[in-house]
Amino acid sequence: MDRNNHPRGTRNSRRETRKHSFSKKMVYLSIFTISLVLICGGVYATYAMQHKPKEASELENDDHYEKKEASLLEKIRKSQKQEDFEVSEQEKKDGYIQTLIYEPVSTESIPQFQAIKSELTTLIEAAQKNSPKDDEIKLVGCTKRLKLTDQVFSYQPVVKIYSWDQEKEDWSEKTELGKNTAFVNQKTKQPLSLQDIFMSEANMLAIQQVVQQKLLSESPDGNALIDGVLNMPKMTLDGTTFTYYPDKISLGLSENPTGKTELTLSYKDIAGYVNPDIIDPASIKEALPEPLDPNKKYISLTFDDGPNPETTPRLLDILKEKSVKATFFMLGQNVVKHEALVKRVAEEGHEVASHSYSHPQLTGVDAQRVKDEVQKTDKAIYHAIGKLPTDFRPPYGAVNKDVAMIIGKPIIQWSVDSQDWQSHNAQSIIKRIDDTAYNDTIVLMHDIHPETVDAVSTVIDHLRKEGYEILPSKELLGKKAKPLHMYYGSTDERPVQ
């Protein structure tokens, strides 16, 4: 068939098809064009936002931060310059974290410096690890020195963490302190030691008595623990751990029935046994009695071998009537029998001290017997009055260095012997004391003899007539008598040989 002879309808259909196809292409082209415009517009908008000129408020915020940062760094550096020892600065920048480390230029006066430096490094590394990664941080590490006394300086690693607070538009500060503090004796340039603080083994033994009493007092049942407490190993200057403070000290404890591994003592409780140059003077102010008046006369009345239920109560009545306080050196075997009487002695303000358990000559028995004589009496007195005796009088005055070490208490001798044990006569006792008494002496009597009790009232009257003030031996000695030493008066102190 001739194509010129196709029906009109067929030509029209093809024309419509081409027209529809063209329209469809135009739609796709329009969509593509619009999409391209939107994408390009978005990219441009993002670029424009990122690169548009900062507004005035943003410029002001940046300027504010820079000023605050400069002020902080100036403050940090000025603070380090104010330290009384020269330091060097090491600076490191890691992202948003700026670290400044200050080390002393000279470390000769800090024998523990390497340990301090090691802990400071650990503190800084921990702070860096724990700091936010997208916040501005300043870490400042240094060794802080404090003058605790004229002779003691402390050194401690310190890290200060400064974080930028967006809301407050300022730096916030936090301080991390090292766990270990180095204390240095500036006189010796050596680490502070117990030798510096307590000066002698004798004072260390005195401290042990205070520790034992404190452990018992803080226990709900001291009587149940007393054997273990009394048998604690001797504390020594070179074998006892400690933590020093200007107003107190914490001492490490050996194994004991209380379970405590450390005990803190205020210096005011051990004022007679500490070096005043090493501690804060205010910590022992008024802790010791005023020195005895050199223009007065003093004497102490002491009574051995009691208590006795027949004679001691009568003696207590006389002392109460005369307003006199005395010292009673008691035998443990009598304390056990007459606890109520012992309690009365203590409650009426007299000193209760130890005279052994059964009155042997301690230099003639073995070490275990000495220990038993001392500890059994300590237990008996503690059970009666809740306090351990702090002073000791050896029977017959017999003592040597080995015995004194086991006793572990000040040895209180006498300088005036009433010889009541020999005369058993009131008038002889009175005359003997009248004839031999002198200033700053300790009088030996025995409250187990009726004749002694008969003589006491007159003895007191005569001493007072001669101008004597009568004190318990502890007060006469200024409350600072120490173990391994013998005392015959406040000015007659002798080391036990």
- The whole-angstrom separation of Cα 171 and Cα 175 is 13
What is the amino acid identity at position 40? C
Q: Is 462 a catalytic residue?
A: no
Out of 196, 304, 305, 454, the active site residue is 304
- The whole-angstrom separation of Cα 379 and Cα 300 is 26
Q: Between vectors from CA 329 to CA 357 and to CA 256, what angle results, nearest 5°? A: 55
Q: What are phi and psi of 310, to 5 degrees?
A: -90, -40
- The whole-angstrom separation of Cα 239 and Cα 225 is 24
Angle between helices 450-465 and 426-436 (to 10 degrees): 40
Q: What is the DSSP string of 239-293?
A: T--EEE-SSEEEEE--S-TT--SEEEEEGGGGGGGS-TTTS-GGGGTTTSPPPPP
Say what the alpha-carbon torsion angle 10, 11, 15, 21 is, to the nearest 10 degrees. 40
Q: Is 304 a catalytic residue?
A: yes
Cα 36 to chain center, whole Å?
Answer: 78
Which residue, among 83, 79, 130, has the nearest Cα to 100 in the 3D structure? 79
Tell me the HSE value of 17 on the side-chain side, using a 13 A CA sphere: 6
- The whole-angstrom separation of Cα 160 and Cα 119 is 14
DSSP letter at 350 equals: P
Rg (alpha carbons) of the chain, rounded to whole number: 43
Structure tokens at 279: 């501690």
291 burial level (CB within 10 Å; 0-12, 13-18, 19+): exposed
- The whole-angstrom separation of Cα 455 and Cα 427 is 7
Out of 446, 447, 454, 485, the active site residue is 446
Could you give the residue numbers annotated as active site? 304, 446
